[in-house]
Amino acid sequence: MLPDIQFSPVAVSGCAINLIIAAICYYVRRFRDGRQGLAFFGGAHLINGIVYLLIIPLPPGPQLSAALASPFAYLLALGVVASSACVLAGAWAIDHRLRFQRRFVLAIGIAYLILVGLGLGVGADIAFRGAMILNVCSALVAGVLFLQGRTAFYKLTGATWLLRTVMTLVLALLPPTLAGQQYFITIGILNVIFIAATGFGIILTELDDARQAASDASAAKSQFIANMSHELRTPLNAIIGFAEMVEGRAFAPTLQQSQQYGSLILQAGRHQLGLVDMLLDMASIEAGRDSLVPQSMAADKMAEECVRMLAGEADRAGVVLHTATEPITVMADPRALRQILIALINNAIKFSPAGAAVRVEVSMAGPGRTAIRVCDRGDGISLTELGRIFEPFFQAGDTYTRAKGGLGLGLAIAQRLATALGGSIAVESQPGMGSTFTLLLPRGETLPDGQTAGSHMATIVPDRAN
């Protein structure tokens, strides 16, 4: 005869579902290039599965009530708090507007310590209930952020998170004496159901985003072909046409005309070489083979040098360049910094109307940081396009009309180079009011002899899904 062993059906189902969801999250994250948020949510489900595993031998009734009032409840509370921290980290990875995530996690840790202290004097079940309420808070944050998502999958997942908070809150407020009653068991089963709904909802949003990313990649390929078709044909046609004139097929050019045609051929050839170089730079960055050597250098001198280099381009566009610099050092690779600034200034010139001014500013930006700002008074960037301007081959407005020319790679390369140098590029823009691009880089060291500070290698790592 087998011994009469009773298991909690809520705990068994909760353990199985959580471990299954954790395994799927790991699989999608590891083998399907899932984002970082999926790893955090998978960790939360793994911890939940372990918590349910610990209470499987405790069927609803006196045994469970006694366990929740014993020091064993501290261990369960610790698992619930750890799960809450993972949920907050996952919510932050999904939506970076959750800027207070570190403070929130710290607050959860402090609250847990307070609950443990209270539990020592009042009862261990207080610590467990408090941990459940903290879990409700983190789930509520996740639900609100998911509800603000851009697709129906996000909104449905957010709704299930909110329903899950209701079930968890009810469980936290129920007295342990009800642990053996059907009401308690029903609420526990509903909680497990909504845990499953939130877990599979997260996986579905991840897979749907991956499908959308694949669709965007296909559109980017078509966009790339459209861009290259125009940008490479134009200089090639100019080179061939003027070369035929120099050769004398159309008419015998004079020496002055030959010199003029040769100058135009040279200009078109350099333009095409610039396009090819930009494509090669992007390919090198994406492959992670572009090694940089950051060193301490004068940010103001580099900015003024780039302004002088683009003075002719600004003059042809009827744009006036202004500088407002301070003698500040920056830690950067000279070639990379020059390429970043040229891309930002050239972009400002390109999208500024004739007669407008572009301003380049160099100043301090807090402890150990240097800010280089490029401000224009062009058409500005709409809110929907603002989040995509650093994508390769993307340009604000109708890309296929090619009204402004270019491949749409300048800002993408600049942003990746800035990241490799330990910095970032931020943009502020309003339609009709212009744009301001701010390059933030680490401050460099100032040496008395004018030498550069010690340098170190930095390798550009290609972007991966979050």
CA distance 435 to 277: 27
User: pLDDT: is 281 or 78 the higher one?
Assistant: 78
Residue 404's pLDDT band, with cuts at 50, 70 and 90, is low
Q: Quote the distance between the C-alpha of residue 419 and its chain's center.
A: 12
- Least confident range from 16-20, 22-26, 239-243: namely 239-243
pLDDT at 462: 38
HEC states along 138-154? Answer: HHHHHHHHHHCCCCHHH
- Domain 291-459, what architecture? 2-Layer Sandwich (3.30)
| pLDDT averaged over every residue in the chain | 78
CA distance 99 to 105: 12
pLDDT at 26: 93
Q: Does the pLDDT of residue 32 top 80, yes or no?
A: yes
CA distance 110 to 117: 11
For residues 67-85, give the mean pLDDT. 84
For residues 292-310, give the mean pLDDT. 87
Q: Does the pLDDT of residue 185 top 70, yes or no?
A: yes
Percentage of residues of the chain with pLDDT beyond 70: 75
Residue 53's pLDDT band, with cuts at 50, 70 and 90, is very high
pLDDT at 266: 81
Q: Does the pLDDT of residue 410 top 50, yes or no?
A: yes
289 three-class SS: coil
For residues 353-374, give the mean pLDDT. 89
pLDDT at 449: 46
Question: Tell me: the pLDDT tens digits for 311-340?
Answer: 888 888 899 998 888 888 899 888 888 888
Half-sphere exposure of 33 (CA within 13 A, CB side): 8
Fold of 217-287: Helix Hairpins (1.10.287)
181 three-class SS: coil
Domain spans of the chain?
Answer: 9-215, 217-287, 291-459
User: pLDDT: is 456 or 174 the higher one?
Assistant: 174
pLDDT at 275: 67
pLDDT at 28: 92
Residue 102's pLDDT band, with cuts at 50, 70 and 90, is low
